[in-house]
Amino acid sequence: MLGALRSGPTSRLVAIPILAGAALLVATACSSSAGSTAAPAAAGSPSTSGGTDPSTMFSTANVSGLGTVVVDGRGHTVYVLTADRTTNVPCEDSTGCTKIWPDLPFPSGTSSATAGTGVQPSLLGSMKQSDGQTYPTYNHWLMYEYTADTGPGQGHGEGIQSFGGTWYALDASGHLVMPGSAGSTATTTANSTASGGGGY
């Protein structure tokens, strides 16, 4: 057959479409095979197990330099802002505060958070702010993430002074964790009517 295809001009003209068709079939098969393989999930994805929103569940975790502290649904350390024993110094969108210290509004249709491992359910609450959104609280503290914490187990925001106060992590009892001394806490009376949390 191959000898016949090579024998003359007419045979070569017949062979060209046959070879082109075979190449097209191979290319289609390769493309189909590649398209059917699911790409693996990227490591360090910010999404949480089961799609948990960071504001809907809180638990505790051990963070180097801080000890056991409250973390949100993404496993990120949460911080509170205080000054001169005033709870919930305002951290608002208008000042740029929430661009660095993101607040944690409840998603639509949610009005309470779930207590995970280590936190006390009786200390979990909520607070509606002037922006109309409702935020979770722990021992009456409004909670925030810190943008320099890129994953769980980090506590880069501890002890930072900015936006009119100082930022602290919270222990399981809802007390401030003092910087530089893992597990050392300070008690500040929470004022549930103080303002804070600007919302997005």
CA-angle at 138, arms to 153 and 142, nearest 5°: 90
**β-bridge partners, 62:** 68
**β-bridge partners, 61:** 69
Domain residue ranges in the chain: 2-31, 54-186
Per-residue pLDDT of the chain (200 residues; tens, 9 = 90+): 444 444 454 444 444 444 444 444 334 443 433 433 333 333 333 334 445 789 999 999 999 999 999 999 999 999 999 998 788 999 999 999 999 999 999 999 999 999 999 999 999 999 999 889 999 999 999 999 999 999 999 999 999 999 999 999 999 999 999 977 665 566 554 443 344 444 33
What does the pLDDT read at residue 184? Answer: 59
Half-sphere CA count of 86, side-chain side, radius 13 A: 11
